[in-house]
Structure 1
Amino acid sequence: MEVSLKEISKIVTGNTPSKKNKNYWNSKDICFIKPDVIGSGIDSITTSNEYISNSASSKARIVDRNTILITCIGNIGRIGIISDKKVAFNQQINAIIPNYKINIRYLAYVLLFSQPRLNALANSAVVPIVNKTQLGNFKVKINPNLESQGKIVSILDKIAKIIKKQTKEIEHLDELIKARFVEMFGEFPYNEKGWNIGTIRDLVSDVRYGTSKKASENNDGKYPYLRMNNITYDGKLDLRDLKSIDIPEKDLEKYSVKKDDILFNRTNSRELVGKTCVYTIPETMILAGFIIRVRLNELANPLFVSTFLNTDYSKQLFKTICKNASGQSNINATELQKIKIYIPPLSLQNKFANFVQQVDKSK
Structure 2
Amino acid sequence: MVKKEKNIQTRATIYKPLPKGWKWVRLGDEKVVQIIMGQSPPSFSYNAEGIGLPFYQGKAEFGKHHPTTVKWCSQPGKIAEADDILMSVRAPVGDVNISKEKSCIGRGLAAIRINKDSLNNKFLYYFFKRDVSMWSKLSTGSTFDSITSKTLLNFAIPIPPLSTQHKIVEILEEADNLRKLRQQADEKMKDLIPSLFVQMFGDPATNPKGWEMKKMGEVTNIRRGASPRPMGDPRYFGGAIPWIRISDIHRNGKFLNDTEDHVTEEGAKRSVYLKAGSLIMAMAASIGTPCFLAVDGCIHDGFVVFEKLSPKLDKEFLYYFIIAFKDRFVSLAPEGTQKNLNTALIKAVTLPLPPLTLQQEFAKLVDDIEAEKARQAESRKKLDELFQSLMQRAFTGELVA
Q: Give the TM-score of the pair, scaled to structure 2.
A: 0.47
Unaligned runs of 5+ in 1: 2-25, 32-37, 55-64, 72-79, 86-96, 112-132, 137-143
1:295 and 2:307 aligned: yes
For residues 241 and 134 of structure 2, the distance between their equivalents in structure 1, rounded to whole angstroms, comes to 32
Question: What is the match of residue 206 of structure 2?
Answer: 190
Q: CA deviation at 1:343?
A: 2.0
Equivalent residue for 1:282?
A: 294
Gapped regions of structure 2 (runs ≥ 5) = 1-9, 11-47, 56-61, 74-85, 101-107, 113-124, 136-141, 146-154, 160-164, 374-401
Kindly indicate whether residue 278 of structure 2 is the aligned counterpart of residue 266 of structure 1.
no
How has the CA–CA distance of structure 1 residues 354 and 52 changed in structure 2, closer, same or farther, with 3 Å as cutoff?
A: farther
- Partner residue of 2:246? 228
Using the TM superposition, give the Cα deviation of residue 245 of structure 1 relative to its aligned residue in structure 2, in angstroms. 1.8
What is the CA-CA distance between 1:186 and the residue it aligns to? Answer: 0.6
2:346 paired residue number: 336
- Deviation at residue 193 of structure 1 after TM alignment: 0.6
For 1:302 and 1:315, the matched residues in 2 are separated by 20
Shift of 1:332: 0.9
Partner of 1:123: none
Closer, same or farther in 2 for the Cα pair 1:158/1:221, shift >3 Å?
farther
Contact 1:304 1:349 in 2 (8 A): yes
CA deviation map 1:22-57 (0-9, x unaligned): xxxx989999xxxxxx9xxx9357569xx8999xxx
Match of 1:264, SS state, is strand
Q: Hey, what does 2:372 align to over in structure 1?
A: 362
Match of 1:179 among 195, 206, 210: 195
Secondary structure class of the residue paired with 2:260: strand
SS of the residue corresponding to residue 193 of structure 1 reads: coil
In 1: Cα distance, 2:176 partner to 2:265 partner? 45
The change in CA–CA distance for 1:155 and 1:315 in structure 2 (over 3 A counts) is same
What CA distance in whole angstroms lies between the structure 1 residues aligned with 2:96 and 2:259? 30
What CA distance in whole angstroms lies between the structure 1 residues aligned with 2:239 and 2:254? 20
Q: Does 1:318 align with 2:330?
A: yes
Instruction: Provide the secondary structure at the position in 2 that maps to 1:304.
Output: helix
- Aligned-pair distance for 1:315? 1.4
Larger Rg computed on CA atoms = 2
Aligned residue pairs, count: 261
Task: After TM superposition, give the deviation of residue 69 of structure 1 in Å.
Answer: 12
Superposition TM-score, scaled by structure 1 size: 0.51
Residue 349 of structure 1 aligns to which amino acid in structure 2?
Answer: Q
Deviations 1:81-138 (A, max 9, x none): 76659xxxxxxxxxxx689x99653455789xxxxxxxxxxxxxxxxxxxxx9x98xx
Partner of 2:318: 305
Distance 1:257 1:153 in 2: 55
Partner of 1:60: none
Cα distance in structure 1, aligned partners of 2:90 and 2:370? 32
Q: State the SS of the aligned residue for 2:281.
A: strand
Work out whether residues 221 and 246 of structure 1, in 8 Å CA contact, stay in contact via their aligned partners in 2: yes
For residue 339 of structure 2, give the secondary structure of its aligned residue in structure 1. Answer: strand
RMSD: 5.5
Which of 322, 330, 349 is matched with 2:359 structurally? 349
